[in-house]
């Protein structure tokens, strides 16, 4: 058995740096990773303009309240190329409108009294006030995005402001989900016969993928025979970059995944991790004829969930071009609301609820206990043969 950190390092080492990209319409790049450095081609703002509705003035003219003549109007839109040529002249101006020549400030309309075609300033302005200078936000040539950056709504706005309609992003993997087990039937099947249970891992893995923004090519199932397991794995291998399977990875007579993978020339490169729940987890990969990665998650639903979060999620994120600093699950500090003990010889991931800074285990901590998992929003890792008293600060993984 290897440790969690050894297992994760081995998996991440096998996942190559993603170099395949596709150019997509800007809106379709939301939550994807940028595949090529982007630089500004136009400055922001693109021209000196007014920050307010008011009057473009010479700041020195606003020091006394005697009238200033309004000699024109510059709305937002076409630049009318207006100029203030003489002292005590002003131009009516609106937010975002190009700044007339000869002025050095904009006085807000709230700070003037309008008398016929003149204004009287009640508050003086200083040079530069209420003016947005060209390039003050962004210079031409400035780096906007680096490869690996996550595309957020703010970044889509920034790219649109550059006039872009498309962006290269890393390609997403083709991922198939495979459940194994003669006892499983798909949700929707009725009646449920004695001994049968609904396949919940398939939907749960699919949901975890969707949460990461990853599509699923197929939700497949195989009965517990060597022939079916081998042929299904063979078929999915041809059509996908990644297969995430659950169940059948242990040592029971009906656990055919390991021998089937060996038959396909992909014996597990990693099997059994010192962790609870999730010990029988396996991983294998090959690079020829094309890269293929197979994650074998234990069948018990909580084991499936925990090993996905700890080992599959970072690998998928790396595949998608996420920088290594962003692969780990987010953490938070919490106060333990009750004593937690781990008498076992493996690190134990306790499912729980983080609320108002307090972490509380969420009921039955068994590898099949789906209800407690469904209530949980975080995981607490406890060391083997250890106990943590109530009131202690702990680091938890946020789900």
What is d(CA 294, CA 312) in angstroms, rounded to the nearest whole number? Answer: 10
- Is 301 a binding residue for Mg ion by CB under 5 A? The answer is no
Binding flag, residue 247, Mg ion (CB under 5 A): yes
Asked whether position 246 contacts ligand AMP by CB under 6 A, the answer is yes
Residues in contact with 117: Cβ distance below 8 Å, sequence separation at least 6, in sequence order? 69, 70
* Closest distance of CB 264 from Mg ion, Å: 19
* Residue 122 vs 225, nearer CB to ligand AMP: 225
Asked if 222 interacts with ligand AMP (CB under 6 A), we say no
Which one of the spans 103-111, 143-151, 244-252, 382-390 is the region binding Mg ion (CB under 5 A)? 244-252
Q: Between the CA of residue 151 and those of 19, 158, 213, what are the distances in Å?
A: 17, 10, 12
Q: Which of residues 165-204 bind ligand AMP (CB under 6 A)?
A: 179-181, 183-184, 197, 199-202
Rounded Cα distance between 244 and 319, Å, is 14
126 to each of 50, 105, 122, 226, how far by Cα in Å? 14, 7, 13, 82
Question: Nearest approach, Cβ of 222 to ligand AMP (angstroms)?
Answer: 11
Give the tokens for residue 26. 């800007």
Looking at the Cβ atoms of 71 and 219, the one nearer to Mg ion is 219
Using the rule CB under 6 A, which residue among 45, 100, 147, 248 binds ligand AMP? 248
Total residues at interface with ligand AMP (CB under 6 A)? 20
Kindly state the tokens that stand for 35.
């595949």
Q: Which H, E and C letters describe 86-139, residue by residue?
A: CCCEEEEECCCCECCECCCEEEEHHHEEEECCEEEECCCCCCCCCEECCCCCEC
Q: Given candidates 247, 277, 314, 352, which one binds ligand AMP under the rule CB under 6 A?
A: 247
Tokens 């949980």: give the residue: 376
Binding site for Mg ion (CB under 5 A): 181, 247-248
Binding site for ligand AMP (CB under 6 A): 179-181, 183-184, 197, 199-202, 246-250, 252, 298-301
């Amino acid at each position: 058995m290897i440790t969690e950190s050894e297992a994760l390092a081995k998996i991440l080492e096998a996942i190559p740096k993603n170099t395949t990209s596709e150019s997509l319409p800007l809106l379709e790049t939301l939550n994807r990773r940028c595949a090529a450095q982007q630089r500004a081609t136009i400055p922001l703002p693109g021209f000196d303009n007014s920050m307010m509705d008011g009057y473009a003035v010479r700041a020195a003219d606003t020091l006394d309240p005697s009238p200033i003549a309004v000699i024109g109007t510059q709305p937002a839109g076409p630049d009318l190329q207006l100029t203030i040529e003489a002292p005590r002249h002003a131009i009516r101006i609106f937010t975002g409108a190009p700044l007339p020549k000869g002025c050095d400030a904009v006085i807000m309309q709230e700070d003037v009294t309008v008398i016929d075609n003149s204004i009287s300033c009640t508050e003086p302005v200083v040079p530069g006030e209420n003016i947005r200078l060209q390039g003050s936000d962004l210079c031409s040539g400035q780096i906007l995005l680096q490869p690996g950056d996550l595309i957020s709504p703010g970044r889509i706005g920034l790219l649109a402001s550059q006039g872009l309609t498309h962006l290269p992003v890393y390609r997403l993997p083709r991922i198939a989900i495979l459940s194994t087990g003669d006892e499983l039937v798909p949700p929707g099947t009725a009646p449920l016969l004695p001994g049968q249970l609904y396949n919940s891992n398939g939907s749960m893995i699919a949901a975890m993928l969707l949460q990461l923004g990853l599509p699923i090519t197929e939700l497949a199932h195989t009965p517990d025979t060597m022939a079916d397991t081998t042929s299904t794995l063979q078929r999915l291998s041809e059509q996908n970059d990644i297969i995430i399977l659950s169940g059948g990875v242990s040592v029971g007579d009906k656990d055919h995944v390991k021998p089937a993978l060996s038959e396909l020339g992909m014996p597990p490169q990693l099997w059994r991790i010192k962790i609870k729940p999730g010990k029988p987890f396996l991983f294998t990969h090959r690079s020829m004829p094309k890269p293929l990665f197979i994650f074998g998650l234990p069948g018990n639903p909580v084991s499936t969930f925990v090993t996905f979060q700890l080992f599959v999620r970072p690998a998928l994120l790396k595949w998608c071009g996420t920088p290594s600093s962003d692969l780990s699950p987010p953490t938070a500090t919490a106060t333990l609301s009750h004593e937690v003990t781990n008498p076992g010889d493996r690190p134990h991931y306790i499912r729980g609820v983080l609320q108002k800074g307090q972490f509380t285990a969420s009921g039955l901590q068994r590898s099949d206990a789906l209800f407690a998992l469904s209530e949980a929003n975080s995981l607490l890792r406890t060391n083997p043969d250890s106990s943590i008293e109530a009131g202690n600060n702990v680091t938890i993984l946020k789900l």
